[in-house]
Amino acid sequence: MAAKPESVVARDYELIIVGAGPVGLALALALGPSGLGLDCVVVAATEPQRPAAGAPGRAYALGAASRRMLGGLGVWPTLKPHAQAMERIIVTDGRVGGSQLSLLEFGEADAAHDPAQIVEEPALIASLLDTLTKPAVSPFCIGEVTEFTDLGAAGEIRFTDGQKMRAPLVVAADGAGSRLASLNAIAHVSWDYGQAGLVATIEHDLPHNGVAIERFYPSGPFAMLPLTGKRTSLVWTEAQTEATRLANLERSAFQIELERRFGEDRGRILSIGPRHAYPLKFKIARKFTAPRLALVGDAAHVVHPLAGQGLNLGFRDVAALAECVADAARLGLDVGDATTLTRYERWRRFDTVQSALGYDGLNRLFSNDHDGLRLVRDLGLGLVDRLPAVKRAFMAEAAGLTGETPRLLTGAAL
């Protein structure tokens, strides 16, 4: 008679975070041993590695609220040397090779809060990892999640090797193709834009003086974000087929295409880093929670990058969920029960949908060559440029400090 296989004993935690991107790492800092003090594990598909100094990667525009949260979590001191303040923002409308009509300009006088800081993903990941692993105890578990089970008092995940772990709260921070969302049959509202974002880092011979430029062309926005030194992060939106063509061009041919849009205020282009094109989608989860599960970051929402708010929205999720969990824990309540999760969903879902639809509307308004729409949008934004109070309201919204602001986003402790 064959021996019965040994049963697998699940390991218990107070919090399981699936996903080791910036959002998952920030949540672990907020709620784990160095923050609220929960026994927390971060599940990653592969062992997280500290990126090498100067490694290429996409850039993020961190609003004031995100920066303050990173400061409160102890991340900002190591990240600050790698950040570039965005001192001015210039928005223009035009056609490639033609004149550019300046529509809006945001400067120091319009900033009711700290200027946004541009950071590159490798530097952000490195700073988060350095801060998270300071106690010299790795919070990571490496594996691929294949099952999720609601046990009533806990959520249980199972890995490909049969191992299991459970906690009162499991958080899906596993990106736009979230496996946990799929395992919980969470549907999404989504559509493709038929566009792709081409990203690359450009080195030039004149200083950018902290100026960010957003040029709206009929094919989509063309953003130039200032990086440390004489470098600029490029976020170039085109139709998918055109973006793929541009990404695969020889360097000299690509530079010719780039110079038609880049302008002369930053001087000559000295070098062009690796180019990557990724498809652009709108995707919002129909619900941000399920029993014993919360969705954060791209697992909950994917928005158009024209306003650079994707990561900021994810950090708002982190701050709101962390506060809901902390408040429950201090009262001796269940950190993953329906009351806690409902509070989180109500806090975040309306704000997220409102913001995502706003970015979607802007993209549709500008990504066309209709003369009537061009006249309306140019007149409208030209009017906004002459109304300081409205401009300050735009800046405050972008900073993430409007509405009911979680404590972490003000720089305060949980």
| Cα 318 from Cα 408, distance rounded (Å) | 9
What is the per-residue pLDDT across 215-227, written as a single tens digit (0 to 9) for each? 888 888 899 999 9
Mean pLDDT along residues 129-156: 90
Give the strand pairing for 11-12 and 164-167: parallel
What is the per-residue pLDDT across 257-290, written as a single tens digit (0 to 9) for each? 999 888 888 999 999 999 999 999 999 999 999 9
Mean pLDDT along residues 48-60: 78
**Eight-class DSSP state of 52:** P
What is the per-residue pLDDT across 151-197, written as a single tens digit (0 to 9) for each? 999 999 999 999 999 999 999 999 999 999 999 999 999 999 999 99
Residue 398 has a pLDDT of 62
What is the per-residue pLDDT across 343-353, written as a single tens digit (0 to 9) for each? 999 999 998 99
Residue 389 has a pLDDT of 55
> Is pLDDT above 90 for 386?
no
Q: Which pair of structure tokens corresponds to residue 84? A: 């570039």
Give the strand pairing for 140-142 and 84-85: unpaired
* Most confident region among 16-20, 55-59, 100-104, 308-312 by mean pLDDT: 16-20
| Cα 130 from Cα 124, distance rounded (Å) | 10
Within 169-239, residue ranges assigned H as helices are 179-183
Residue 385 has a pLDDT of 54
DSSP bridge pairs for 171: 17, 294
> Is pLDDT above 90 for 383?
no
Give the strand pairing for 145-150 and 231-239: unpaired
Residue 18 has a pLDDT of 98
Residue 312 has a pLDDT of 94
Tokens 């193709």 belong to residue: 177
Question: What count of residues does the chain have?
Answer: 414
Look up the CATH number of domain 11-190+281-410.
3.50.50.60
What is the per-residue pLDDT across 64-95, written as a single tens digit (0 to 9) for each? 999 999 999 999 999 999 999 999 888 887 65
CB atoms within 10 A of CB 381: 18
| Cα 365 from Cα 30, distance rounded (Å) | 38
How remote is the C-alpha of 305 from its chain's centroid? 9
Sheet holding 15-18, edge to edge: 140-142, 40-44, 15-18, 170-172, 293-295, 289-290
Mean pLDDT for all residues in the chain: 87
- What percent of the chain shows pLDDT beyond 70? 82
Residue 361 has a pLDDT of 76
Residue 120 has a pLDDT of 95
Q: What is the pTM of this model?
A: 0.90
| Cα 41 from Cα 89, distance rounded (Å) | 40
Residue 7 has a pLDDT of 56
Q: Are 219 and 367 contacting, i.e. CB atoms less than 8 angstroms apart?
A: yes
Band (pLDDT 50/70/90 cuts) for residue 292 is: very high
Mean pLDDT along residues 348-366: 83
What is the per-residue pLDDT across 390-402, written as a single tens digit (0 to 9) for each? 556 555 666 566 6
Mean pLDDT along residues 220-246: 94
Element (H, E) at 173: none
